[in-house]
């Protein structure tokens, strides 16, 4: 089968940008093309990812971004969630139609209302919206079930924030670079009890561009191609009450990705993971479902130190979504960060161990309605 690789990545910092979305998008896109030594005309196809009307109050879908990413007068496509835009880009190469595809995700979280004000609109207007559902409400209910069922403690959940915000100190591209202690997290306001304010991701700006190429082209463009070796995605029911919030679709998505990559023991095979954790406890729950530990042992996993930057399976060395949450772009950021770890180009947050296989995960929807898992290898 045709192979597909990530050749180059470029990303903006997560801090508030004073540029408008057009220019902000253009700058990162320009950077990735320059790194690859390509002109717009050399790129076969362009995929964009954003949710402009919903997360920006601008334009429709991502029509606003096409100029800045050079998608005009080209074949292109779009997805709102950026891990999906990545796989669409890979399909374009795997189909044999294009040698290079550029995928760019863009959002300026600093321009729009709080996530809690936006996410009620995920819900339907008949039932879920009037009873006050939003993403944080569902996360809080999921957290309480998780703690109740498995005896996971609030401290274990809070430790995820301490770890990820600690890692973020070494990532110049992240949003919030301020160390927090366990006590800081535990004493932060219980805004959605049992969820505390510091356990909820911020709202960030973020443009990330990833250049994807066929095997032949990738080898010409870079001496460090990062290969796609596995992918899986699965969607759950829309109404949270119709689902088991502790047994969603991540296991199914991961299972497909592992099978494709020929991985039977993810705990051993994965060298580093970038996991999408908009709420602290979700990193623990997702790690269980990714097979990094047994069901109900997410608390023990964080206690063991394995997922620390210097552990045997570092999770979110970039600082993760708890340090930077460019909403629709966050999945592609995870993929870009995993690629940088494989290239050995993550800078100060490069993990100490040799990275041969990396996992990137993305989720969106209430309580992890949709999950994507991407396995990359050197």
Partner 1 sequence: MPKEYRTIRGDVALPYKWALGKTWTRFFDGLKEEKILGTKCTQCGKVFVPARTFCPVCLSDMAEWVEVKPEGEILTWTFVSAKYYGQVKDPPYIIATIKLVGTDCGFHHFIGGVDLSDAKQVRQKLKTGTKVKAVWRPEKKAEILDIAYFAPLK
| Residues of this chain that bind partner 1 (CB under 8 A) | 18, 57, 111, 113-114, 116-117, 120, 125-134, 136-137, 140-142, 144-145, 148, 189-195, 237, 239-242, 245
Q: Is 21 left (phi over 0), alpha (psi -120 to 50) or beta?
A: alpha
CB of 377 to partner 1, least distance (A): 37
- Smaller CB separation from partner 1, 4 or 176: 176
Cα–Cα distance for residue pair 274/171, rounded to 1 Å: 13
CB of 16 to partner 1, least distance (A): 8
- Smaller CB separation from partner 1, 19 or 215: 19
Cα–Cα distance for residue pair 332/17, rounded to 1 Å: 19
CB of 281 to partner 1, least distance (A): 13
- Smaller CB separation from partner 1, 113 or 344: 113
- CA within 13 Å, CB half, 300: 9
CB of 115 to partner 1, least distance (A): 9
CB of 19 to partner 1, least distance (A): 9
> Are the C-beta atoms of residues 108 and 21 closer than 8 Å to each other?
yes
Residue environment code for 185-213, b if the CB has 16+ CB neighbours within 10 A, otherwise e: bbebeeebebbbebbbbbbbbbbbbbbbb
**SS3 state of residue 374:** strand
CB of 284 to partner 1, least distance (A): 17
- Smaller CB separation from partner 1, 58 or 359: 58
- Smaller CB separation from partner 1, 319 or 367: 367
CB of 58 to partner 1, least distance (A): 10
Q: Is the dihedral of CA 283, 284, 287, 288 positive or negative?
A: negative
Cα–Cα distance for residue pair 299/153, rounded to 1 Å: 7
Q: What DSSP assignment string belongs to 20-64? A: -HHHHHHHHHHHHHHHHT--GGG--EEEEE--IIIIIS-SSTTGG
From residue 269, how far is each of 153, 154, 273, 363 by CA, in Å? 28, 30, 11, 22
């Amino acid at each position: 089968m045709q192979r597909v690789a990530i050749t180059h990545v470029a990303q903006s910092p997560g801090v508030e940008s004073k540029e408008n979305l057009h220019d902000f998008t253009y700058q990162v896109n320009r950077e990735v093309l320059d790194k690859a030594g390509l002109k717009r005309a050399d790129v076969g196809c362009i995929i964009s990812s954003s949710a402009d009307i919903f997360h920006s109050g601008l334009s429709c879908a991502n029509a606003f971004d096409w100029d800045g990413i050079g998608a005009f007068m080209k074949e292109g496509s779009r997805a709102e969630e950026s891990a999906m835009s990545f796989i669409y880009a890979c399909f374009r190469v795997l189909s044999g139609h294009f040698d290079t595809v550029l995928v760019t995700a863009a959002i300026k979280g600093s321009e729009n209302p709080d996530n809690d004000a936006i996410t009620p609109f995920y819900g339907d207007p008949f039932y879920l919206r009037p009873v006050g559902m939003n993403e944080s409400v569902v996360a809080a209910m999921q957290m309480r079930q998780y703690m109740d069922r498995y005896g996971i403690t609030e401290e274990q959940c809070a430790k995820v924030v301490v770890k990820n915000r600690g890692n973020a100190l070494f990532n110049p591209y992240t949003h919030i670079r301020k160390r927090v202690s366990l006590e800081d997290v535990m004493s932060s306001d219980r805004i959605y009890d049992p969820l505390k304010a510091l356990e909820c991701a911020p709202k960030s700006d973020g443009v990330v561009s990833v250049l994807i190429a066929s095997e032949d082209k990738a080898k010409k463009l870079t001496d460090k191609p990062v290969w796609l070796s596995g992918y899986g995605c699965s969607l759950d029911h829309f109404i949270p009450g119709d689902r088991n919030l502790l047994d969603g679709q991540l296991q199914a998505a991961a299972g497909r990705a592992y099978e494709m990559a020929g991985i039977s023991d993810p705990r051993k095979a994965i060298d580093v993971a970038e996991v999408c954790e908009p709420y602290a406890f979700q990193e623990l729950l997702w790690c269980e479902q990714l097979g990094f530990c047994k069901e109900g042992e997410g608390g023990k996993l964080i206690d063991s130190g394995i997922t620390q930057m210097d552990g045997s399976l570092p999770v979110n060395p970039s600082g993760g979504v708890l340090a930077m949450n460019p909403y629709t772009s966050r999945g592609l950021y995870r993929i870009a960060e995993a690629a940088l770890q494989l290239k050995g180009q993550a800078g100060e947050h490069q993990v100490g161990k040799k990275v041969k296989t990396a996992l990137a995960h993305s989720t969106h929807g209430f309580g992890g309605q949709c999950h994507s898992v991407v396995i990359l290898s050197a």
